[in-house]
Amino acid sequence: MTTRQPGWQQWHDESEPIRIGISSCLLGQKVRFDGGHKRDRFLTDVLGQWLTWVPACPELEIGLGIPRPTIRLENAQPETRLVEPKSGLDLTDKMQAYAETKVSELQELELDGFVLKKDSPSCGMERVRVYGRGGVPTKNGVGIFAQVLMRRWPNLPVEEEGRLNDSVLRERFIAHVFCRHRWRSMERKGLTRRRLVEFHTAHKLQLRSHNEASYRRLGKIVGSAGTIPDRELFENYEDEMHTALSRRPSSKRHANVLYHALGYLKNVLDPFEKQELVQLIEDYRKVGRADYLAPSPRGQARDFLPRRPALPRAPSKGADAQKQSLVATERC
């Protein structure tokens, strides 16, 4: 680790790929019941440039073929079962046993996140159709594989491809994935109290933008170093960090953090620059976005920060543009 790199960059280990599990059909693999796929171009063409995907198709891997009869979740109080309605075959136990083994294998690979296929009785993360006796479904189920994944691995960032179309949820997921990757990089180098303080210092604005209460608890955890066993200290911090990052950030919290960051710049900005930045922050607070490249009497917004190293330049076009915007998002 070099101390000359700014902020988050010193924590990012490029030699270690960011590994994300994914429902195979989202990569374009023809594994669905009808022999089709559900390729998601944002995942394959944009996010995929930054990650190594680890695909899994639970239905295929428990031995269901292609094509195969449809399966669904059924309400069999007090639990939900995974059933092939045509034959009445109950696949719940088989899928649960597979999921337990598969999650253990994936934990060996040290994933940084998982993207699940929405609506699937195996992979769906939420609001999956559950059929009752009358055949009328309620959308309150969770796919059997997804249930096991989230129960066994509560700190893993998990999202569905549909929810990643929401820019706030997408930003939260990406920030969480990158943060988890940095934490793992630090673990590989060896957790020490000093590194924990440095990690917390480098990430505190990001953590604060997600949840103020969690941020305060994290500060107390760091402050408890030396009073509790180190192992407990690091576990407490990791758990609370994941709790904070799983909260949805808001423009209000981001604006509060931006004001805090403005305090660091008070000796390098003149009154006019401060006033303009305050206006930009207020614009952002109201509508949830502000144009980084917006012209102002003194140039563009980014021109206020010439003394800050490694700011992203204007996006170019196509995938490159989206890739750039991911960098900008992650640096928030």
Beta bridge partners of 54: 21
We find the least distance from the C-beta atom of residue 193 to ligand SF4, in angstroms, to be 42
Q: Is 118 in the site for ligand SF4 (CB under 6 A)?
A: no
Task: Choose among 174, 182, 70, 173: nearest CA to 125.
Answer: 173
141 binds ligand SF4 (CB under 6 A): no
Q: How far is the CB of 61 from ligand SF4 (least distance, A)?
A: 8
* Residue 23 makes contact with ligand SF4 by CB under 6 A: yes
Minimum separation from the CB atom of position 26 to ligand SF4 (A): 7
Region at 96 (left for phi over 0; alpha for psi -120 to 50; beta for the rest): alpha
Q: Using the rule CB under 6 A, is 117 a contact of ligand SF4?
A: yes
Q: Least distance to ligand SF4 from the beta carbon of 94, Å?
A: 13
What the block records as the tokens of 265 is: 């710049």
DSSP letter string, 101-139: HHHHHHHHTT-SEEEE-TT-TTT--S-EEEE-TTS-EEE
Q: Site map for ligand SF4, 66-85, x if CB under 6 A?
A: --------------------
Cross-sheet strand order for the sheet of 52-56: 52-56, 19-23, 113-116, 158-160
Q: Could you say which residues in the range 30-69 bind ligand SF4, by CB under 6 A?
A: 31-32, 57-60
By CB under 6 A, residue 147 contacts ligand SF4: no
CB 196 within 8 A of CB 225: yes
- Member of 80, 122, 147, 209 binding ligand SF4 (CB under 6 A): 122
Contact 101, 56 (CB under 8 A): no
Residues near ligand SF4 (CB under 6 A) are 23-25, 31-32, 57-60, 117, 120, 122-123
